[in-house]
Copies of this chain bind each other. A is one copy, B any other.
Amino acid sequence: MLSTMMRTPLTLSHLLERAGRLFPTSEIVTRMPDRSLHRYTYADFYRRSRALAEALQKAGMQPGDRVATLSWNTSAHLEAYFGIPVAGGVLHTLNLRLHPTDIAYIINHAEDRFLIVDDVLLKLYEAIKDHINVEKVIVVPLTGQPVPAGLTSYEDFLATATGDFRYPELAEDTALGMCYTSGTTGKPKGVVYSHRSMILHSLGSALPDALNLAQGDVLTPVVPMFHVMAWGLPFTGIMVGCKIAMPGPHLDAVNLLDLYESEQVTKTAGVPTIWMGVLQALQKEPTRWKILPMEMVVGGAAAPEAMIRAYDTFNLKVVHAWGMTEMSPLGTVSRTKHNLVGSDPDMLYALRACQGIPMPLVEVRAMNEHGAAPWDGQTMGELEVRGPWVAQSYFKLESERDKWSADGWFRTGDVVTISSEGYVKITDRTKDLIKSGGEWISSLDLENLLMGHPAVREAAVIAVTHPRWDERPLAAIVLKEGATATVEELRAYLEPKVAKFWIPDAFVFVDEIPRTSTGKFLKMQLRDTFKDWHWES
């Protein structure tokens, strides 16, 4: 028996119309390259997004054509987020931190037809232009400098619109946008989001137990708009109608804190590395900024519990979330469940430092050789996920089918435990787990513990082949400036905290840990550095 309800497709045009009709006076602020603040309203955003949509259609964009962006977090980039998909195009955000060779590969693989690029990134465009085949390049004049000959100014492009844009009718499974993962191995892999998946993700993300985003919030996405659509926040923010303050290219602690203060930001989101920098700036000058009580979503990598505790002293609440490019990205959010309020504070901090419980419509399971692991907070398994905003394949890449289970769940590559309360805790990446004498050791747990030591700035733990135990952990340590610690001290520090066989057999002091373009430890390179390590005795 079928229902009698309307089959209204879930498409982005609804959110854009809603923004223009209901929230015309809400502000969008952008930190420009010269550090000045550019301000306009949703009424401007609405008009210009529709102008972009119309101009693209006039320039010959066909349904499904990819339009790439090479841009920072700005209001113009936000216009592209809406103007491209509502006209039937596919928004393809390029990660400007990748090597130009990879960027060119991705553009060619996606078959991008148009490219929108910030003028401050033209040097990067110059490095790739001979290796790509893009029909039209549109330059956003953030600096006000003239646009080079042969390229189109974004403002001139918008001026080709007459204002009578009409939304094409789109099925909800139509492609809205695409992102490529910047994996540490293999070629980048593309994920194609649909209008439906992004609308559902926006509804789920704004829920009180997820990001809790309301019209009265002021939102600053620090996570770049070229990283998994800035975690969907541009869509979620516009849906609820809140003020948005964009950091532009200025992601350093002082510029962010200035922005939080001047715009009275209440919600922000970014990776742990950025938040570590902001924390240090706050600790150095605790009275310099007057910031409202603010929620800081952290994701992309595990946030140290010590950092969460330190922010609490500033009345700033770090909320841990977890997701992936393949998940739009939000999968879990770690808020304290009501029935746990009043529990042991240390336990609650440990929970806040884990990945959290799954959002509505997202299903999780931890698979190991015995099947789905029990939710006991102890048994490890590879996290597999399923839901309407999870990818079921990569774009034009049939060879990667083993990333999905036979029954269709996405295999995340993260090794986790799930507690009886449903809290997911990542213990490692599958490829980073250390298998010692038949037992698993979590490199991530060891790293988080070591980074709690007062002298340690960074710690990366890797598996090194061992003649007797198969593998044993080696810890690469970066000390804080001016701090000292001996191997014996670190060993003694870990002893009360972990099983004896978990304690690394080697501690090596290094100047820095190699990182990926998104700030994650590049363990592949570390493993390569230590591949010939000789264990004593």
Contact = CB atoms under 8 A, between A and B. Distances in A.
A476 B175 CA distance: 58
B408 A6 contact: yes
Contacts of A390: 5-6, 8
A174 B8 contact: no
Number of copies of this chain in the oligomer? 2
A361 B392 contact: no
Interface string A243-264: 1000000000000000000000
Contacts of A186: none
A388 B195 CA distance: 14
B358 A22 contact: yes
Given A4-B395, A391-B5, A357 B26 contact: no
Counting chain B CB atoms within 10 Å of each CB, which of A208, A216, A392 scores highest? A208
A487 to B, nearest CB: 43
B394 A4 contact: yes
Contacts of A216: 337-338, 341
A527 B467 CA distance: 96
Contacts of A337: 23, 215-216, 241
Interface in A65-104: 90
Nearest to A62: B1
A241 B361 CA distance: 13
A268 interface: no
Nearest to A64: B1
Interface string A417-457: 00001100000000000000000000000000000000000
A1 B192 contact: yes
A357 B22 contact: yes
A483 interface: no
Counting chain B CB atoms within 10 Å of each CB, which of A7, A17, A335 scores highest? A7
Given A14-B363, A216-B338, A175 B358 contact: no
B240 A173 contact: no
Contacts of A207: 203, 206-208, 214, 240
A213 interface: yes
A3 interface: yes
Interface string A4-25: 1111101000110110011101
A63 interface: yes
A484 interface: no
A114 interface: no
Interface in A211-251: 212-216, 239-243
A314 interface: no
Interface string A392-430: 111100000000000010100000000001100000000
Give the interface size class of chain A: 35 or more
Given A215-B337, A375-B21, A240 B4 contact: no
A45 interface: no
A355 interface: no
Nearest to A359: B18
Given A8-B386, A192-B1, A22 B421 contact: yes
A209 interface: yes
A125 interface: no
Nearest to A176: B3
Contacts of A204: 203
A88 B509 CA distance: 62
Given A207-B240, A360-B18, A4 B392 contact: yes
A5 B15 CA distance: 20
A154 interface: no
Contacts of A209: 214-215, 240
A63 B1 CA distance: 7
Counting chain B CB atoms within 10 Å of each CB, which of A21, A242, A421 scores highest? A21
A196 B196 CA distance: 12
B8 A388 contact: yes
Given A63-B1, A192-B1, A216-B338, A422 B6 contact: no
Interface of A: 1-8, 10, 14-15, 17-18, 21-23, 25-26, 63-64, 90, 173-176, 190-194, 196-197, 199-200, 202-204, 206-209, 212-216, 239-243, 328, 335, 337-339, 341, 357-358, 360-361, 363, 375, 386-395, 408, 410, 421-422
Leading 5 A-B pairs by shortest Cβ distance: A3-B194, A1-B64, A216-B338, A208-B214, A22-B422
